[in-house]
Amino acid sequence: MFSRSVALSLVLITSFTTAAFGADIGQIKVSRGSVSIERAGQSLRGDAGTRLQGADVVKTGDDGSVGITMTDNSLLSAGPNSVLALDRYEFDSTTSAGRFEASLQRGTLAVVSGRLAKQSPDAMTLRTPSATLGVRGTEFVVTAQ
């Protein structure tokens, strides 16, 4: 009975955590020049402070650059003429378990990985048009022109 009530309260806490963060997976911290977000067929302005959701595609124009902090504390920043798709993001803030898949379809990107990649070597994957990058907890840059 005791362990059952503990298990139940853990379930409640986990769901509360998810609810507390809502659908937000990250936030635009830095936005310069033209930055937009494609979400469910609509184009939104990518101003600093904007919260991001799963499947968002972040785009920068000729004069644009953007810096994003995800809820696992990973940092993604893109230079001009970039297209970055946040294809899939699941993060359990209690256990650091989850999955992060993003694609740099075009442009330049700097990455500092966060808790997901630290917790599991297979948790974070970045795709480019021709390759797949497995991220083992690190800092790197990618360009696809």
Partner 1 sequence: MSRARGASIVAALALAAAVAGCAPRSERIILLPERDGRSTAVIVRQGGREVKLDQPYAAAELSYADPWSYRASEAEVKATFKDALAAQPSRAAYFTLNFNENSSELTEDSKTVFESVLADLKQRSVVDVVVVGHTDAVGGDAFNDDLARKRADSIRDALLARGLAASDVVAIGRGKRELLVPTADGVAEPRNRRVEIVVR
**Where on the chain is the footprint of partner 1 (CB under 8 A)?**
5-6, 9-10, 13, 16-17, 20-21, 27-30, 32, 48-49, 65-69, 73, 75, 77-80, 82, 93-94, 108-110, 112-114, 128-145
Q: Are 39 and 59 in contact (CB under 8 A)?
A: no
In angstroms, rounded to a whole number, what is the distance separating the alpha carbons of residues 13 and 7?
Answer: 10
Report the nearest approach of partner 1 to the CB of residue 41 (Å). Answer: 26
Report the nearest approach of partner 1 to the CB of residue 2 (Å). Answer: 9
| Cβ-based nearer residue to partner 1, 20 or 41 | 20
| Cβ-based nearer residue to partner 1, 43 or 61 | 61
Q: Which of 67, 76, 41, 71 is nearest to 56 (CA)?
A: 41
In angstroms, rounded to a whole number, what is the distance separating the alpha carbons of residues 70 and 80?
Answer: 20
Beta bridge partners of 107: 144
| Cβ-based nearer residue to partner 1, 43 or 141 | 141
Report the nearest approach of partner 1 to the CB of residue 43 (Å). Answer: 20
In angstroms, rounded to a whole number, what is the distance separating the alpha carbons of residues 110 and 14?
Answer: 31
In angstroms, rounded to a whole number, what is the distance separating the alpha carbons of residues 17 and 98?
Answer: 14
| Cβ-based nearer residue to partner 1, 29 or 41 | 29
